[in-house]
């Protein structure tokens, strides 16, 4: 503990510090042996459903060992993805066949985001690029203030970019011109990563590392409301980390957001009032929702089902504890998560029990799976990309 405090002091003297939560604290910052909790061993069980692999391809070298926000996006029958070395490509949803690829010659760190005509990517060198949805041709390139660590969001011709120094940029989807900028101070110590904003009723709603949730008007960046979601507690700087790094989601006028250590919340979209808090469930990975429930992978890789109306916990799946689960994807009667060893798990949405699993890769799966027409698309850190379906569904 003394070494941790010394390290924090050195960081504070040199400005803000960013921790890679994907590793043990000292491992992430200084290297060395990871002494975090060991992952649960996979249990044997009789599968209740059969998983069919539709196709498997690759996305270059993937994200590699870096903690990045490189995931998947889908639009007009195409699946878009990028790798760390600058490759961006489009594949056919049904076959996995390549439609186009573009070598951007950039160190990509976040994306893709998809607009009406463009695919947007961000880089570690504070660059934002727009490629044509149809051909992959470069449309424009813009400079922002620092590394982009949240997937871009495109709404009504406006591209929303979040950078690691606490800024929110709005760029024109047409030409990359800066429309407005909003800035918040970054805490001296924070978890590496940023949540992807959600656009609701003309407002950009974003969570920050200081536990604040803000609504900014999409057209001009005006602050519409600010809500203190999470409050730091504990003696050490590490204990007081409350980053809102899980991507918020919205349903029926309520925004659901989770803090790294301060719980999960339901917040009114119109004014930021907190409707409920579940202090037992904290997450950095993220969540998904169906018509009534939330499904969330917590910081210990336990998967929960919460009631959207009041945040009550309905079930918890703890047999995958410490396996560094991705955010879940939910569809029909299933909840799908990936883990650090490249396994994809299907859980029952009714009680959380394990129904089936399949091995995609030896690399971690930390990007949230995507579901379209009952097909699940999964991306691993080494670039392995596959489409799965429950046989008979």
H or E stretch covering 7: helix 2-13
What's the pLDDT at 25? Answer: 36
How many domains does one find in the chain?
1
Report helix, strand or coil for 224.
strand
What's the pLDDT at 27? Answer: 36
Residue 111 inside a domain? The answer is yes
**Beta bridge pairs of residue 122:** 110, 128
Give the sheet arrangement for strand 293-297, strand by strand.
286-289, 293-297, 303-307, 313-317
Residue 362 inside a domain? The answer is no
Dihedral of alpha carbons 38, 43, 48, 53, sign: positive
CA 21 to chain centre: 13
- Specify burial of residue 322 (Cβ count, 10 A radius: 0-12, 13-18, 19+): middle
- For 322: left if phi > 0, alpha if psi spans -120 to 50, otherwise beta; the answer is left
What's the pLDDT at 17? Answer: 56
Residue 8 inside a domain? The answer is no
CA distances from 284 to 96, 108, 114, 264 (A): 30, 21, 23, 10
CATH number at residue 105: 2.40.128.630
Cα–Cα distance, 369 to 373 (Å, whole number)? 13
**Interacting residues of 122 by C-beta distance below 8 A, sequence separation 6+:** 108, 109, 110, 111, 128, 144, 147, 148, 149, 150, 151, 152, 161
pLDDT, block means (10 residues), the chain with 393 residues: 38 47 37 67 97 97 88 96 97 98 97 97 98 98 97 98 96 98 82 88 93 96 94 77 88 95 95 96 95 96 98 98 97 97 98 98 97 97 98 86
**Beta bridge pairs of residue 171:** 159, 178
CA 6 to chain centre: 31
Cα–Cα distance, 22 to 317 (Å, whole number)? 21
Which two structure tokens, joined as six digits, stand for 99? 């439609």
Residue 117 inside a domain? The answer is yes
Residue 289 inside a domain? The answer is no
Residue 317 inside a domain? The answer is no
> Count of residues for the chain?
393
What's the pLDDT at 234? Answer: 73
What's the pLDDT at 20? Answer: 56
Tell me, what DSSP letter sits at residue 356? E
What's the pLDDT at 232? Answer: 74
Residue 240 inside a domain? The answer is no
Residue 237 inside a domain? The answer is no
Q: Which domain holds residue 84?
A: 62-183
């Amino acid at each position: 503990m003394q070494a941790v405090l010394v390290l924090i002091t050195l960081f504070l003297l040199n400005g803000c510090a960013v921790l890679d939560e994907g590793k043990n604290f000292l491992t992430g910052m200084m290297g060395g042996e990871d002494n975090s909790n060991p992952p649960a061993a996979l249990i044997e069980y009789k599968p209740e459903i059969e998983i069919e692999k539709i196709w498997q391809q690759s996305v270059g070298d993937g994200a590699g060992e870096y903690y990045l926000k490189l995931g998947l996006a889908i639009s007009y029958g195409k699946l878009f993805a990028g790798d760390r070395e600058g490759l961006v490509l489009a594949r056919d949803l049904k076959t996995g066949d390549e439609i186009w690829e573009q070598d951007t010659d950039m160190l990509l760190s976040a994306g893709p985001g998809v607009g009406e005509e463009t695919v947007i990517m961000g880089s570690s060198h504070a660059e934002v690029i727009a490629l044509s949805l149809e051909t992959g041709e470069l449309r424009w390139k813009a400079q922002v203030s620092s590394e982009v660590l949240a997937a871009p969001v495109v709404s009504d011709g406006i591209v929303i970019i979040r950078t690691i120094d606490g800024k929110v940029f709005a760029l024109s989807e047409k030409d990359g011109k800066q429309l407005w900028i909003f800035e918040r101070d970054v805490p001296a110590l924070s978890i590496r990563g940023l949540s992807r904003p959600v656009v609701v009723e003309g407002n950009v709603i974003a969570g920050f590392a200081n536990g604040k949730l803000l609504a900014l008007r999409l057209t001009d960046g005006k602050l519409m409301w600010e809500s203190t979601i999470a409050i730091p507690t504990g003696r050490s700087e590490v204990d007081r980390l409350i980053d809102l790094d899980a991507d918020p989601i919205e349903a029926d006028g309520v925004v659901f957001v989770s803090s790294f250590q301060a719980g999960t919340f339901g917040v009114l979209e119109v004014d930021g009032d907190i409707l409920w808090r579940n202090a037992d469930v904290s997450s950095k990975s993220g969540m998904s929702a169906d018509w009534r429930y939330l499904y969330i992978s917590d910081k210990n890789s336990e998967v929960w089902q919460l009631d959207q109306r009041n945040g009550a916990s309905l079930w918890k799946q703890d047999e995958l504890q410490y396996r560094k689960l991705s955010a879940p994807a939910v569809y029909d009667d299933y909840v799908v998560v990936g883990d650090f060893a490249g396994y994809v798990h299907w859980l029952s949405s009714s009680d959380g029990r394990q129904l089936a699993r399949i091995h995609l890769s030896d690399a971690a799966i930390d990007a949230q799976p995507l579901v379209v027409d009952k097909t699940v698309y999964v991306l691993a850190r080494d670039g392995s990309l596959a489409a799965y379906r429950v046989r008979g569904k």
